[in-house]
């Protein structure tokens, strides 16, 4: 008996800012989201930044900025991290 299996691939564009908002309203953050390519990860980061998605509180941002401020100038360049 020959069994043929057909796989249907459905491409879904996920809007990370929308999903993040849904998770936030359901009190499901923090969450881990796997993105399997660097390009898709970069695009997701851009979409979140352009939408104004904020993932930290003011207090958390202050702590992060203090810690990043402890990194030397050349490490900032290598990590592509700049604070204004």
Alpha-helix residue ranges (DSSP H) falling in 5-72 = 16-25, 38-51, 58-69
Q: Where are the domains of the chain?
A: 56-84
Nearest Cα to Cα of residue 24 among 3, 52, 53 = 53
Distance, CA of 18 to chain centre: 12
pTM metric for this prediction: 0.54
Tens-level pLDDT at each residue, the chain (84 residues) = 455 555 666 666 668 888 888 888 999 988 888 888 889 888 888 888 899 988 888 999 999 888 877 777 667 677 776 554
């Amino acid at each position: 008996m020959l069994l043929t299996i057909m796989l249907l691939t459905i491409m879904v564009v996920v809007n990370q800012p929308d999903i993040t908002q849904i998770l936030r309203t359901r009190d499901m953050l923090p969450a881990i989201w796997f993105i399997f390519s660097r390009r898709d990860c970069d695009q997701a980061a851009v979409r979140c930044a352009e939408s104004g998605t904020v993932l930290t509180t003011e207090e958390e941002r202050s702590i992060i900025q203090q810690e990043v401020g402890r990194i030397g100038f050349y490490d900032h360049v290598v990590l592509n991290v700049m604070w204004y």
